[in-house]
Amino acid sequence: HIAVLRSHVSDCKAVGADTQAIWGYNGIGPYRIEDNYLEAAGENLMFGGSDNYGSIVPSDIVIRRNTFSKPLSWRAEAWTVKNLLELKNARRVLIEGNTFEHLWVAAQGGYAFQLTPRNQDGNAPWSTVEDVTIRHNLIRQVAGGFNCLAADANPSGRLSRVHIHHNLVLADAAFGGATFFRPITHGTISILDLVIEHNTLWGTPSTLAFTGDGPG
């Protein structure tokens, strides 16, 4: 069991490399991340992104009442900026009551969330993202909302059972203007059991974009 509670993690940044405030990939969980301020240029919080060698899927993850942010001053600097939260290998995840803020198009397309199963280096085909609930979050001053991938080009599990509901998304075209939700199929593989309901979106130029064939 790993818990990060009531902590302040800031100024995690680099040029040409990913940085994270919190990163987990080689432990089974459970994980509890609550009441923190998390600031990083790459991914403020990420699970997965490196192969493990014990068929491990980080599981039973609770992410609640945190603030995920990037300083707006970083827009004028050269740090490698990607997203606010990324799941590449995770199971049974609750993301609830958080604030996600300040993300622009840079090294990625400006989506606050990346839900993308990744067999990162080709040695972990058990990597998956499944049973994810994202609810009651405030997402503001971002280019876009959710970028989702059904499966990796390397053999991987499938993005499955995702429920996104009761979130407020205040997108800002000045940050790059991506879409609210962008699901990507891989060949004939699509996301399994996806529900998006009762969300409020304001400010982005488009809402849903469905893209096919490729890991994206």
Cis peptide upstream of residue 30 (ω within 30 degrees of 0): yes
Report the Cα 148 to chain-centroid distance in Å. 9
Is the CB of residue 186 less than 8 Å from the CB of residue 159?
no
pLDDT band at 216 (very low <50, low <70, confident <90, very high): very low
The pTM of this model reads 0.93
Q: What is the pLDDT of residue 181?
A: 75
Cβ-contact 154, 89 below 8 angstroms: no
Question: Quick one: which of 183, 159, 180 has its CA closest to 110?
Answer: 180
Residue 56 has pLDDT above 60, yes or no: yes
Percent of the chain with pLDDT over 70: 92
Spatial distance between the Cα atoms of 172 and 178, rounded to a whole number of angstroms: 9
The model's confidence at residue 209, banded by pLDDT at 50, 70 and 90, is low
pLDDT above 80 for 62: yes
Query: How many CA atoms lie within 13 Å of 205's alpha carbon, on the beta-carbon side?
Result: 7
Backbone angles phi, psi at 72, to 5 degrees: -65, -25
